[in-house]
Amino acid sequence: MVTDIESTGKENWTEIIGHRDDVLLEGMEIFKDYLVVEERNKGLLNIRVIRWDTKEEYYLDFPEETYSSYVGHNPDYDTQFMRYWYTSLTTPNSTMLYNLKTKESKVLKQQEVVGDFNKDDYTSERLYAKADDGTMVPISLVYLKGLDRNGNNPAVLYGYGSYGASMDPYFSSVRLSLLDRGFIWAIAHIRGGEDLGRQWYENGKMLNKKNTFTDFISCGEHLIAENYTNKDKLFAMGGSAGGLLMGAIVNLRPDMFKGIVASVPFVDVVTTMLDETIPLTTGEYDEWGDPNDKQYYDYILDNVEEKEYPAMLITTGLHDSQVQYFEPAKWVAKLRDMKTDDNILLLHTNMDAGHGGQSGRFRVHRETAMEFTFMLDQIGVTR
């Protein structure tokens, strides 16, 4: 809403943008002649421009089906130029300069990718999987152009789905190592994140938390049904609360995945949430529920069962203050005791790392290489 600086009584306020159930306002930038608004709709961020004087408005036109964008730092109030940031699964991180008057855009700076990278060698697209309750869940994916949808491609399905954190598509140069070997990389925009607005988050927390897990499974089923991959070449990956996701989906559908990569996984939720001496615990009641209340205890409790599990790589850090190293260690011990298969089960504890993994510009890639090698080994790729 807007009002004159001298007349701030409630009768002098005028609505500029009304509430819409399907749109989440994520930010705004005020210029002398323009109002610029960041709006999240259908899981994608749109940049909307409104002239103050004529109320003429339009949205920036982005060229790809799935992408990430937000308004950058614009300290100059009296200007027709705006900086914004853009990336996608095929476009490196780019700082853009946009002329609000002429509607022209140009690249100021783009992330350098060493080697012979050409974005036109890759294709990205957006799919929708139908969840158990009929909800349509977006999937963003990228793969090498010309890939044959014959149902025989290796694929990685990545997910998080907690704390209202949106998993927007972004460019990753390290990911090219898998794409160039024929992998599909997919991001499941599951409930528990805020990808489709506040209600998307509310429908994936506390007593709705299982929607997060079943959404992810529905995304995997959709990739298989649409002949992108098959259960013998589909991998699942997630870290922290995304590691909790890995623990849940491997209990629900261990038959659907060739392998699981779970990084610093939060997998002993009941025990941790019953310990109020841990600084994060009581604040987390709003995310998972308080297991001191029986209905939440029963809902959260999800035990390892005696059955076959896929190959698994589980990583942790000795100095992790958010998910203590003994959570994944106990999980691995329980899995080894209960599982009835001969699939590989690895625990890697980094003795120098915390929750964010290995620090350092180059050392972090060693952990990425380990995760990628685990998946490549499972499908017999040796180089």
Q: Each residue of 94-114: pLDDT tens digit?
A: 999 999 999 999 999 999 999
**255's torsion region: left (phi>0), alpha (psi -120 to 50) or beta?**
alpha
Alpha helical stretches, state H, the chain: 176-179, 198-202, 210-225, 241-252, 269-273, 285-288, 294-300, 326-338, 364-378
pLDDT at 32: 96
The pLDDT of residue 349 is 86
Fill in the amino acid letter for 281: T
For the chain, which ranges sit under pLDDT 50? none
SS3 content of the chain, % helix, strand, coil (to 5): 25, 30, 45
C-alpha 162/C-alpha 289 separation (Å) is: 13
Looking at residue 133, what is its pLDDT? 96
Q: Provide the β-strand partners of residue 158.
A: 187, 237
Rg (CA), the chain: 23
Domain residue ranges of the chain, discontinuous segments joined by +:
10-110, 119-267+303-378
The CATH number given to 119-267+303-378 is 3.40.50.1820
Q: Is the pTM of this model over 0.75?
A: yes
Rounded Cα distance between 46 and 69, Å, is 7
Q: What is the pLDDT of residues 124-169, one digit of tens each?
A: 999 999 999 999 999 999 999 999 999 999 999 999 999 999 999 9
**Active site residue ranges:** 240, 320, 355
* Residue 240 neighbours by CB distance under 10 Å: 21
Instruction: Dump pLDDT digits (tens) for 320-353.
Output: 777 788 889 899 999 999 999 999 999 998 877 7
Do residues 137 and 14 make contact, with C-beta atoms less than 8 angstroms apart?
no
Element (H, E) at 40: strand 34-41
pLDDT score at 361: 67
Residue 159: both structure tokens together: 């997910």
